[in-house]
Amino acid sequence: MRLVEFESFLKSFLLFFISMGSLITFLFYIYYQKDLEHFEKELFYKMNICADSLTCNEFDYDFVKKEKGEKLTHVLYKAEKEIGSFYQIKEAGDYYLKVSYDYEVYSRQLHQLFISLLKYFLFTLSAVLILSIIFSLYSLYPLRNALLLTKEFVRDILHDFNTPISTMRLNLSLLDKEVGSNIKIERIERSIDNILLLQKNLKHYLLEKKADIEPINLHNLVTEQIYIIEKNYTHLEYIVDIDMSEFFETDKEAFVRILSNILSNASKYNKKNGKVIVAYQKRSRVLTISDTGKGIKNPKQVFDRFYKEQKEGVGIGLHIVKKLCDQLHIKLLVKSKLNEGTTLSLYL
C-alpha cells in the first residue's frame, strides 16, 4: 500500500470509526442511565412494599426520631453506607420508619449492570471497527484504480521518451561534427539532460524501490555526479572538500538521485562565474551543498510538490529529494538568502 493510499485509508477509517463510535458511546450512555433509573425505581418500589410488611430480609429497618426540619418521606436518598427512604408512621408521630439497603451491595449490583452493558458496548464497537475497515478498504478501490491507471500511463510515456531522446542526441552529435560546437547546441544538450533528469525522477517516484543499503565512498560518488553535470555548466567552479577515505552506508541509487537533483539545482540557478561547494564535516556527519546563486524566496515551501520560483522545471525535484531523505532517515535542512545563494545540509 502506497503512502497516499494508506493516508486515504487511515482518514476514511478514522472518520467512520470515530463518528460511529461516538454515536454508539452516546447511545449506550443514555441506555445505561435509563437502566440505572429503572433499577433504582424497582428498588424504591420494593422499599415501599416492605415498609408496610417489614418482612423483607434484604432491607434494614430502624425508627428515627424526628428532629428540627422534617425529612423528606417516600423519596430515595443516598448516603455513604446505605441507600434508603423515610416513611411517616401514624401510630408513632415522633418517629420515622427508615428502610435502608446496604450501599456496598447496591454498588456491586450497579457494577454488574455496568459490566453487562460494557460487554454489549465492546461487542458493538468491535463490529463497528470491522465495518470501518471494510468501508475504508472499499472506498480505497477507486483511488487505487486511478493511481494504477495514472502510473501505467506515465510509465508508458516515460518509456516512449527513450526513442526521441536517443534520436536527438544522435543528431546533435552529428550536427556538432558538421558545424562545430556552439552555444545553441550546448543549450539543446542541456535541455536533453534536464529531460533525462526529469525522467529518472519520475521513474524513481513511481517505482518506490526498497532501500538497498551498501557502503559508499562519499568523495567518489560526489565527484562522479559533478563530472556528469559540470560539462553543461562550464562557467561554474565546482569545489569538493571531502576526505577521499570517507565511507558511509546508504542506498546508492536513492542517494545518487538526491545528489543529482541538488547539484542540478545548484548549477541551474547559479550566477555566471559562480561556485558550487560540496563539503563534509566528519565530526557532525553533515554534507553541505552550497551555491552562489539566486537564492530562494520561501525556503520552507521549497520541498512542497509542484512548488517552484522559476519558470524552468515542474517543481518535483526537491520534493523527491525530501521524500528520498525521509526514506533513508537523512535529516535535510535548507538555508537561503536572495541574490547570495543557498545551502542544503544533509545529516547522514
Per-residue pLDDT reduced to its tens digit, 304-326: 877 776 666 556 778 888 888 88
What pLDDT score was predicted for residue 194? 67
d(CA 167, CA 297): 38
pLDDT band at 205 (very low <50, low <70, confident <90, very high): low
**342: nearest Cα among 273, 267, 280:** 267
pTM metric for this prediction? 0.51
User: Please, which residues have CB within 8 angstroms of residue 100's CB and are 6 or more apart in sequence?
Assistant: 59, 60, 61, 62, 82, 83, 84
Per-domain residue ranges for the chain?
Answer: 3-139, 210-347
Burial of residue 162 (CB within 10 Å: 0-12, 13-18, 19+) is exposed
What confidence tier does 332 reach under pLDDT thresholds 50, 70, 90?
A: very high
Question: What residue type is assigned to position 245 of the chain?
Answer: S
Would you state the pLDDT for residue 2?
Answer: 67
d(CA 189, CA 271): 20
User: Which residues, 6 or more positions from 230, have their beta carbon under 8 angstroms from its beta carbon?
Assistant: 236, 238, 267
Task: Say if CB 274 and CB 291 are below 8 A apart.
Answer: yes
Domain 210-347 indexed as CATH 3.20.10.10: no
